[in-house]
Structure 1
């Protein structure tokens, strides 16, 4: 009976989490009339069969639950472009799914350019309504504001006009899409906090711990740049919760501990492991940055470190040093093993992890194959100008390029130029090559290998030849600088 009761409760809880009751569904018949009554709305134009839409929907619903209770509220709307909302989608120039747009009083305001997970959507949209800093008129307002936020917040307490107040509002306007700001000049609020002119960062209740204070008061110059530095340093604390929407804000050297981070379903279990990370992070404050990340949200990143995802495992640990080299804790996670790992990281005693295919046993083809483990040899130290293609085996554009690339390499046999390719999905790409799509090509002159130049020219053989003939360190034997083929030498 107990098991059945527990199962019933879990099913109800799961259904509640997946509910879309706070998302307003509109169509051609009511889109304009209903939207005109709403101050600020985020509209998702979708198709039921769209995979990206299916992945976004539960995050959208979670964000809607948060935003409908915001002050002022933000309404999240969805429109099915394949059925009841066809005309509305056409009128709003929807050409792909999902498309998200922000409307104010029924009028299109701007394209949505924020994150696509619940917390990120909520934070981005909260910044779109009201002033950059929320005014707190009473102690009850202060307590409600602190209780409602899921991340650190910044509050200014000002009895009178001051340089600090001016700097605070300037920064609040600049960071309104990233940080929640509030302020107060009311005597009872200032008395409650025991300050008259101060800016304080408050950490959310669920992240409070014995290793760091729950709030930090700014004590620097009354300049927005200095205040910004204070927030950057303190916002996430000793070990912040790193998710997909804020991952770029955690800078190297960085140690990340991956496990089932979930403050909704399992806050106690989440803090059990985080407190152990905090104990270690406290020892290395100012030397290394720490974070905890949900392992199911970073399966791709774990794969980049050669770590297999397993929901029930103990935490896994990966790190990057200041030069972005990667390292993995091989021992089972514990306070002691993590401490030793970080000490060895700082003392450069760890062997970097390199994701790489095996080095090819031979290089018989005109196009040289690079992998992470031989990249130094076949590109950096080959003493040749080098054209490198970073590709993906499944990429259609890469497959289309392959014959021309092979022909190019064949034509340039005997020249002081190497034509190289590398599977960027199976190998670590060096940090000075920015590869975000496939194929990506770079030109690396023989004497400037640390400063490769992205190739954005045509992809026919003649396009490549003209570019290489012009850019080659030494003039090619078979082509002049304009790319014109030189006449063959005849023997007398």
Structure 2
């Protein structure tokens, strides 16, 4: 009996909703978010496992914040129009509103403590007005990131621009206003400066526009040469579409050399974001496709899933990286092609193994081509391999090339093949340059039916086919 009661207690804890969480519908949504103060909303679906885990945490946060903020939720199964309106494509999603306006998105861990801290930060005053050096030093010591706005008054063009963006970045920075030029004298009047703990300050030098300042504030949380950590990952994820410089440190890289490299990273900050890894002992080098005899420190620029390596036969230093970055920005650097060795016998039992150096040539053959993108660590891929091998053995022919490629060890045209996970299967009909995504069942029969429907010419199965059936 005790175990039964415990089971129900756990079940109730996992599914409970706080009485203070407001259920939003199309009838009351706009009315609720238009109220004064903060409204923190969870968008969820009933079938989402992450939503179920977050439910008790959100309820606890609601209990803690019941007297200071409104916590509400939208069931996207029922209120699809609301979720479409706010571009909710993944669940759960948490948006924060003030007086009817969505001012920020919560991206922290889905636990009550982080939700509460996040809401409290958004409720705090937008800026601190500081009138002495002592006050400013205290603020810097208490906050990991401080954004200093040094301006004559709240009515300047600079002040008005920053005030528009503060709600978006309030959870990232503590904003401080200084009107006295004698306080923090190293910072000039009408300037914006970000102070980071453990790193030099960074001064905004772009034009006074929302776009330019937003770009600066997106990058400024990370150091000139940053590292991945639980704290920095959310900031780097926002920069994943930009040009990234990867500095692969050697075991004997000195602090003096790192300081020189930091100056180069600072010089190109507006165009390239630099992040460092331990090169010789890190999988990053292998994943990028650097040769085994690479000299460290090494440096690689990446953009749009393409890597551009600094010469690997010499150690990278501040001078060579500076010159390399400039050549890259001038379009004078060729990308690296990551590829496994070309197999001596690429086709066996109807199955062709593709690698980075051969995939394009097979596409250009103009034959019907099916490609199974896989990863060595992928459990679903391992289940599919024997089925796909059987399909290849029974249906592969001169006119139907059935192939595989390790999507983690080989480069390929990511514009043609949108591979965001594994396994992924694409089919290119004979004579076409457009790849068709396969989303059918992973059986020999379904693969064969798909090929029969879309291939340009019929393919006769091999005589030794005993189980695959006719196309």
TM-score when scaled to structure 2?
0.60
Residue 257, structure 1, aligned to residue 239, structure 2: no
Change (3 A) 1:431 1:273: farther
Change (3 A) 1:217 1:477: closer
Q: Deviations over 1:419-447 (max 9, x none)?
A: 21112343335433343433122233455
**Whole-angstrom distance in 1 between the partners of 2:179 and 2:266:** 36
Residue 144, structure 1, aligned to residue 129, structure 2: no
Q: Secondary structure at the match of 1:130?
A: helix
Q: Deviations over 1:93-149 (max 9, x none)?
A: 659xxx999735448979797467xxxx99998644223764314334433223334
Q: Aligned runs of 1:92-107 on 2, under 5 Å?
A: 94=53, 103-106=61-64
How far is the alpha carbon of 1:412 from its aligned partner? 3.5
Change (3 A) 1:386 1:197: farther
CA contact (8 A) 1:390 1:440 kept: yes
**Structure 1 residue aligned with 2:120:** 129
How far is the alpha carbon of 1:204 from its aligned partner? 2.2
**Whole-angstrom distance in 1 between the partners of 2:428 and 2:108:** 35
Q: Secondary structure at the match of 2:198?
A: helix
**Whole-angstrom distance in 2 between the partners of 1:107 and 1:123:** 12
RMSD of the TM alignment (CA)?
4.9
- The correspondence for 2:288, drawn from 305, 311, 317, is 305
**Structure 1 residue aligned with 2:164:** 170
Q: Secondary structure at the match of 2:175?
A: strand
Change (3 A) 1:466 1:291: same
**Whole-angstrom distance in 2 between the partners of 1:355 and 1:101:** 48
**Structure 2 residue aligned with 1:182:** 175
CA contact (8 A) 1:158 1:183 kept: no
How far is the alpha carbon of 1:372 from its aligned partner? 1.4
Residue 227, structure 1, aligned to residue 220, structure 2: no
**Whole-angstrom distance in 2 between the partners of 1:445 and 1:468:** 9
How far is the alpha carbon of 1:183 from its aligned partner? 4.2
CA contact (8 A) 1:442 1:455 kept: yes
Change (3 A) 1:336 1:389: same
Change (3 A) 1:243 1:364: same
**Structure 2 residue aligned with 1:463:** 446
Q: Aligned runs of 1:8-87 on 2, under 5 Å?
A: none
**Whole-angstrom distance in 2 between the partners of 1:354 and 1:122:** 45
- The correspondence for 1:422, drawn from 405, 411, 418, is 405
**Structure 2 residue aligned with 1:324:** 306
Change (3 A) 1:198 1:350: closer
Structure 1 gaps of 5+ residues are 1-27, 37-91, 209-213, 262-268, 480-484
- The correspondence for 2:390, drawn from 394, 407, 413, is 407
Change (3 A) 1:387 1:413: closer
Q: Secondary structure at the match of 2:314?
A: coil
Q: Aligned runs of 1:289-438 on 2, under 5 Å?
A: 289-295=272-278, 299-306=282-289, 315-320=297-302, 324-328=306-310, 329-342=312-325, 345=328, 352-362=335-345, 363-378=347-362, 380-414=363-397, 416-432=399-415, 433-438=417-422
Report the number of matched residues.
366
Change (3 A) 1:277 1:447: farther
**Whole-angstrom distance in 1 between the partners of 2:296 and 2:470:** 68
Residue 241, structure 1, aligned to residue 223, structure 2: no
Change (3 A) 1:454 1:206: same
TM-score when scaled to structure 1?
0.58
Change (3 A) 1:258 1:325: closer
Q: Deviations over 1:310-331 (max 9, x none)?
A: xxx9633222367723415331
